[in-house]
Chains A and B, each alone.
Chain A
Amino acid sequence: MMRRVLVTGASTPLGRGVVDRLGGRVDVETVVGVDRHGGVLRATGTSGRPPAEAGRTPTLGELVDSLGVDTIVHAEMCPSRSGAPTTDQPDVISTLQVAAAASGRPGPVRTLVAVSSTEVYPASARAPTWRREDEGLRPLAESAAALALEAEDLLRDVAQQQPHISVGILRLADLAGPAVVSGLSSLLGGVAVPLVPGYDPPVQFLHPDDAVRAIEHAVALELAGTFNVAGDGVVRWRDAARMTGRPTMPIIAPFEPLNAVLRTFRVPTVPNALIDVLRFGRCADAGALASTGFSPQHSTEECVRAVAHGSRARSTK
């Protein structure tokens, strides 16, 4: 059966990669990429045109129905990675729209693959070194982790209420590559690499290409359940800093109120959630996804080298 795929977050590098990748598959007839505001950005091989009603853009549900979409890739969910909570909660709202598009009366959707992040595992001294999908998570109030978990729960509800839809949730490790950097990996690309004195935690990255491949894998196999996705191996934060060839900068006072003041003066700060990562690390056990037949092509160390290389290339331009 030829598949018709709708991709949210198509204006992000990850979403663009997914649209391109899925568009190249022989079993995919149509790929429609939509951005945050519901605008259709990319459409390959569309047979039916999206309804262009005057005055308003169609809702995701209307798009899904009019195009006969059987697969939704929710690539927009991936949090901002700043570690700080955002007031407009874009991840949760967009996920609500996806959940709405997939549920309700029996529609054409059979497969839903959503992008979450390993940020749902707050770094702490008490937590297991390797985080697994079945870990009982009690999110901290008002955190990016809590919002990501809330968004995941919305989709798990879809899986429960619509048994004919297979819902796969991919918790991506921090993306790090030549161009895409986010959260933790962006700390490697600045003027100096921050570190917390006395700590040298193991960290983990995922290459954006592998993120796209993992999403394709989940779409192709119609994976159901929650899966960690990460590059092989871990890197010590100090080693990562060394590989970038940049100086390190110790963080002395990780106080959020102080950070808020600094941010108002546009001084870059490291949010508390990331400071805990710089103390205790965050490693996800990607064994469950591996057992479905997926293996990343880039190790964590290669990701760090890619960030180092990419940011050097940019700065010499």
Chain B
Amino acid sequence: MTATADVDPWGRSVRTRRLVRRVTAPVYRGWFRAEVHGLDRIPSQGGALLVANHAGALPVDAPLLMHGIESATGRPVYGLHHWMLREAPWLGTFLARNGGVVANPGNAHRLLAEDGQLVLVFPEGTKGTMKSYSQRYVLQRFGRGGFIDVAMRAGVPVVPIAVTGTEEAMPTLFTVPLGDQVRVPVTVNAVLFGPVGGLIPFPVKIEAHVLEPVRFDVPPDLETYSRRLVADGAAEVRARLQDELDRLVVARSRAVVG
């Protein structure tokens, strides 16, 4: 067969993942002392939509969660990301090889319902990563709740995951607009270590807590789901995640050292 025959139709490569996990492991353990609690709440088979809070100008939550869950469960994790990342040469391909998939309902549904995969999504999107440090652990708007619609349609549970430490890894002071679309975050890291050194996140302890899966009492594959159901579902997931974040942040004895 050909050299990249291990690449699946989504662009994920088992071999690349294995290599990247090997490189990530010491960072995961040594730099971030990362831990994922409640891994047994992640379904051992079938599709599930993993929903987490998003933080940090360069969000380390995605790669760390994917690493932690893949290493512990042996199941691949696909991460939904903004389409603009796919447009970037090399970066888009790199993300795809590591399980990155452009976030849209079609892709999410196919991954969950037809392929039965674990899919990680950050419903806050860039609103989570671009918020300032004063907004730390305050969940931003959950898009339009589309992820709930996708989970209902696919008939899969939503598994909320509360992540702490990521807000302190790369705190954003303020953002500078660059044109109409893009805002550039000015981070503490960049102020202290310059534009290149600023790409390195602080070695804070990062913990993730997997919450009880949320299942929706609706049949899958309906033509439409009522806006009320979707909105309520999104609000419930968001509230559970926010409550857990509030509890965890207070409970952390030494916030970043651990």
A residues contacting B by CB (< 8 A) are 124-130, 132, 135, 196-200, 202, 233-234, 236, 238-239, 242-243, 279-280, 283, 285
Residue pair B3, A234 in contact (C-beta under 8 Å): no
Q: Which residues of A contact B104 (CB under 8 A)?
A: 126-128
CB atoms of B89 and A125 under 8 A apart: no
- How far, in angstroms, from A200 to B7 measured CA to CA in the complex? 11
Flag if A126 contacts B83 (CB, 8 Å): yes
Tell me, in angstroms, the Cα distance from A234 to B84 when the chains sit together: 23
Q: With A and B bound together, what is the CA distance between A125 and B86 in angstroms?
A: 6
In the bound assembly, the distance between CA atoms of A42 and B91 in angstroms comes to 53
* Nearest CB of chain A from residue B112's CB, rounded to whole Å: 13
Evaluate whether A129 and B5 lie within 8 angstroms (CB atoms) in the complex, with A199-B89, A199-B93 already known: no
In angstroms, how far is the closest chain A Cβ from the Cβ of B102?
A: 6
Q: How far is the CA of A196 from the CA of B88 in the complex (A)?
A: 12
B9 touching A283 by the CB < 8 A rule? yes
Pairwise interchain contact A242-B2, C-beta atoms closer than 8 A: yes
CB pairs A–B below 8 angstroms (11 shown): A125-B83, A129-B101, A196-B89, A198-B89, A198-B91, A198-B92, A199-B93, A234-B9, A236-B2, A238-B4, A239-B3
Cα–Cα distance between A279 and B10 once the two chains are bound (Å):
14
Which residues of B from 213 to 247 have beta carbons under 8 Å from A? none
Q: Which residues of A contact B2 (CB under 8 A)?
A: 236, 239, 242-243
Whether a CB of chain A sits under 8 angstroms from the CB of B59 is: no
6 A-B pairs besides A199-B92, A239-B4 with CB distance below 8 A are A125-B83, A125-B87, A126-B102, A127-B104, A129-B102, A198-B89
CB distance from B11 to the nearest CB of A (A): 7
Interface of B is mostly: mixed
Given A236-B4, A236-B7, A242-B3: A128 and B107 interface contact (C-beta under 8 Å): yes
Question: Given A125-B102, A126-B102, A126-B104, are A239 and B5 also a contact pair (CB < 8 Å)?
Answer: yes
On chain B, the residues within 8 Å of A135 by CB distance are: 106
8 Å CB interface, B51-96 against A? 83-84, 86-93
Tally the A-B contacts, defined by beta carbons under 8 Å: 63
User: Contact between B4 and A280 (Cβ–Cβ < 8 Å)?
Assistant: no
Q: Which residue of B lies closest to A128 (CB)?
A: B106
CB distance from A135 to the nearest CB of B (A): 7
The answer on a CB contact under 8 Å between B106 and A197 is: no
Q: Give the distance in Å from the alpha carbon of A53 to the alpha carbon of B233 in the complex.
A: 70
Question: What's the least CB distance linking B100 to chain A, in Å?
Answer: 11
Contact, CB under 8 Å: B4 / A202:
no
* Inter-chain contacts of A132 with B (CB < 8 A): 106
Which residue of A is nearest B7, CB measured?
A236
Question: Does B9 contact A129, Cβ atoms closer than 8 Å?
Answer: yes
CB distance from B204 to the nearest CB of A (A): 32
* Residue in A199, A202, A242, A243 whose beta carbon sits within 8 Å of that of B9 in the complex: A202
Expressed in whole angstroms, the Cα–Cα distance for A196 and B11 within the complex equals 16
Residues in B with CB closer than 8 Å to A125 are: 83-84, 86-87, 92, 102
Contact pick for B107, options A129, A196, A199, CB 8 Å: A129
The chain B residue sitting closest to A201, CB to CB, is B11
- Residue among A234, A236, A279 having the largest count of chain B Cβ atoms under 10 Å: A236
Residue of B nearest to A130 (CB): B110
Chain A contacts for B106, CB-based, 8 A = 128-130, 132, 135
For B93, the chain A residues whose CB sits under 8 A away are 198-200
Which A residues touch B101, using CB under 8 A? 129
Q: A137 to B80, alpha carbons, bound, how many Å?
A: 22
**Cβ–Cβ < 8 Å partners of B89 in chain A:** 196-199
| B residues in contact with A243, CB < 8 Å | 2
Which 9 pairs from chain A and chain B are nearest by CB?
A: A198-B89, A128-B106, A125-B86, A198-B90, A126-B83, A239-B2, A125-B83, A125-B87, A234-B9
